[in-house]
Amino acid sequence: MLGVVLALLAAFSYGVGDFVGGLGGRRSHPALIPIAVQVIGVLLTVVAVVVLGGSPTAAVLAWGALSGVGGGVGNACLLRGLATGRMSVVAPLSAVITAAIPAVVGLLSGDRLTPGGWAGIALALPAVALASWSGRDGGFGLADIGYGVGAGCGFGLLFVALDRAGTDAGAWPLLPGQLVALVIVSLAALPVLIRMRRQRQDFRLAAVARWGGASGALGAAGNLLFLIATGEGQLTIAAVLAGLYPAVTVMLAALILRERMIRTQQAGLVAAAGSIALIVTGS
């Protein structure tokens, strides 16, 4: 049960972090927010490493670095896809793949679920897709699918790698992951930064630090909570519950920004609540 609670807290932290990061992108520059997110993530992870202690092995650090590859690629693909492609394609596709990949890996690795747990897993995947659906009309291209698949595979790799790293070394797996992700998002943002400098645009660094820092703190907390959740329970359940984070972002947008939720999103939120209830009662 503790693993379930921690995974839900991770979903909440991820969802709030995405909401804050999205607001920051509107109030500063979206290309700079991921860099601030990762910088704060590195700093807070160093603190967690010192507080929790532990002695990492080479394998732990390698899995941690691989999680950073997943996180960096996932963030780069998602932000690029949402900025230039069809959100109604990129967001739900990435969300479903994020939850599905580690769930499949967990089941193939020996995770066993009760009938209620199976029902919750089956309901969670369409729930997160519906909650992420923007309902916008219009066609889409292969690039939109590519961004969605790339983001989902990246975040799925993040979850799997953190599970494989384990919790014996405390927060150590998160440190190489944050560093690798920082390099990836910085390289992804480099062309935009060069163009902004040439055009002498305002970088709005104060806003970037404020919003990106808050988002980074929440993301780092989410990673730590998910890492501990995988140590307390099964990867399949932890990944699917943590993968419900888009529902949190959608609810915050409706409550704070007064964004109107379409019926499919409302159905997704109801289905997400149902999936949580089934998984909790079946755990």
Looking at residue 257, what DSSP letter applies? S
d(CA 233, CA 237): 8
Cα-based distances in Å from 110 to 104, 113, 177, 235: 10, 10, 26, 10
Looking at residue 264, what is its pLDDT?
A: 87
Please tell me the total count of domains within the chain: 1
At 3-18, the pLDDT tens digits run 899 999 999 999 898 8
User: What average pLDDT does this structure show over 48-61?
Assistant: 92
Q: Supply the range of the domain harboring residue 104.
A: 2-282
At 176-229, the pLDDT tens digits run 999 999 999 899 889 888 988 898 888 888 888 999 999 999 999 999 999 999
d(CA 221, CA 105): 24
